[in-house]
Amino acid sequence: MSYSWNRPLENLPEELTAIWSCTKEGCNGWIRDSFSFKEVPVCSQCASSMVSSNKILPILVSSDQQIKLYRKNQRKDTKS
């Protein structure tokens, strides 16, 4: 099995994450609360109001070094 930088990560750790979801029917817009610059954001796709909710999402990795470490650990796990 070859490993590529562009290969999607599998089995990413997830957590319950606060998000804002669009209220407009048919729009699937949402944003992580930690990425919102407004107290109550508007949807960037349709400019409708948004409501606060939660969603299970992959934990964000903050640096290239952490991504490399995660991939290295994934390779070790698949070999055992």
Q: Which helix (H) or strand (E) holds 72?
A: helix 64-79
**Cα–Cα distance for residue pair 32/8, rounded to 1 Å:** 21
7 Cα distance to chain centroid? 17
Please tell me the pTM assigned to this model: 0.64
Indicate the length of the chain as a whole number.
80
Q: Please check the confidence at residue 7 and state whether its pLDDT lies above 70.
A: no
Kindly state the percentage of the chain with pLDDT values over 70: 65
Span 23-49, pLDDT tens digits: 999 999 999 998 888 889 999 999 999
pLDDT (0 to 100) of residue 78: 62
Q: Which of 11-25, 29-43, 45-59, 64-78 has the lowest mean pLDDT?
A: 64-78
pLDDT (0 to 100) of residue 23: 97
Pairing outcome for strands 14-22 and 50-58: antiparallel
Domain definitions of the chain by residue range: 14-79
Q: For residue 33, how many other CB atoms are within 10 A of its CB?
A: 13
